[in-house]
Amino acid sequence: MEFVRSLCVFITFLGCLISSAHGQAAARRPGPISGTRIGFYLTTCPTAEIIVRNAVRAGFNSDPRIAPGILRMHFHDCFVLGCDGSVLISGSNTERTAVPNLNLRGFEVIDNAKTQLEATCPGVVSCADILALAARDTVVLTRGLGWQVPTGRRDGRVSVASNANNLPGPRDSVAVQQQKFSAVGLNTRDLVVLAGGHTIGTAGCGVFRDRLFNNTDPNVNQLFLTQLQTQCPQNGDGAVRVDLDTGSGTTFDNSYFINLSRGRGVLESDHVLWTDPATRPIVQQLMSPRGNFNAEFARSMVRMSNIGVVTGANGEIRRVCSAVN
């Protein structure tokens, strides 16, 4: 008992306390706390990563749009109370109902993987780990390079929509993005590298259309601006989607950064990474083949995936990912 009591004090000090009530606000503050390790399930569920990989592949073969969807889902999970699978919980007033999360895609893939894992290794693999593994697998399926994912996260019990209000947004300046990344223990390089996840996926016209008209920014490519205006007319359908990485929206590569250097950033938050002197040198490095974007992305993903993780006696292993036990 004394050991457990001391462990709880230590975990509390690190900021990992979590409320046991589904609807309560969380006490812990996200941060780069790592209690995970490579091969966590090697003896308890040796086929865990294979099962997740196969579920992601099946989902991708059915609908390739789940690749950017799951990658974005993992990002949104980690930036809200840490990487604890809270974004997966369904119900009224959960994170899934928050405006930034309304278009998240791929929940059924995570659920499918969980169902198979519960049949093979019941009560062992957390939903938070499934999401972290699936995010890596989507990068591989879109021709990016994989990496070893540390596992051992447990699932959180709190999911409240208002906690998602401060996610990095499509209109954020570099300074605002830096503040939001710093708040969870990530630096400016992580910010730029992880923004490179926009090399796959799309955005709805309604998200960025306000910057397409009366735009006098000389750094915006005017031919590209005209193209976007055609795709997203002022009174058009805001649900029409546009590739975030023009010309390479389904391939995980560094062309996103090349597009930024040519004034072809779709979102304002992407465009400013080139125009702001704090981030432009990093974009320039990642544009180059020698910048090794894939390796940089892997390192920053591991850092992000260890934000505020719940481990040990904290949290739980959900039986289904969409509901607390």
Q: Among this protein's residues, is 76 annotated catalytic? A: yes
Q: Which two tokens stand for residue 39?
A: 């091969």
Q: Identify the helix (H) or strand (E) that includes residue 202.
A: strand 202-204
Residue 119: CB atoms within 10 Å: 9
Question: Hey, which CATH number is domain 47-201+244-305, 1.10.520.10, 1.10.10.10, 2.30.110.10, 1.10.287.3510?
Answer: 1.10.520.10
Residue 76 has pLDDT above 60, yes or no: yes
Exposure string over 178-217, b if 16+ CB within 10 A, otherwise e: bebbeebbbebbbbbbbbbbbbbbbbbbebbbebbeeeee
**% of the chain residues with pLDDT over 70:** 90
Average pLDDT over residues 129-151: 98
Residues in the chain, total? 325
Q: Quick one: pLDDT band at residue 35, thresholds 50, 70, 90?
A: confident
Residue 271 has pLDDT above 70, yes or no: yes
Residue 290 has pLDDT above 70, yes or no: yes
Predicted TM-score of the model (pTM): 0.89
Residue 79 has pLDDT above 50, yes or no: yes
Q: For the chain, what are the domain ranges?
A: 47-201+244-305
- pLDDT tens-place string over residues 192-233: 999 999 999 999 999 999 999 989 999 999 999 999 999 999
Q: Considering 22, 74, 76, 271, which one is annotated as catalytic?
A: 76
What phi, psi does 111 have (nearest 5°)? -60, -40
Binding-site residues from annotation for substrate: 168
Residue 242: strand pairing partners:
203
What radius of gyration, in Å, describes the C-alpha atoms of the chain?
A: 20
Binding-site residues from annotation for Ca(2+): 77, 80, 82, 84, 86, 95, 199, 245, 253
Binding-site residues from annotation for heme b: 198
What phi, psi does 100 have (nearest 5°)? -65, -15
Residue 23 has pLDDT above 90, yes or no: no
Q: Which two tokens stand for residue 235?
A: 């009174």
Cβ pair 62, 56 in contact under 8 A: no
**Distance in angstroms (rounded) separating the CA atoms of residues 18 and 29:** 9
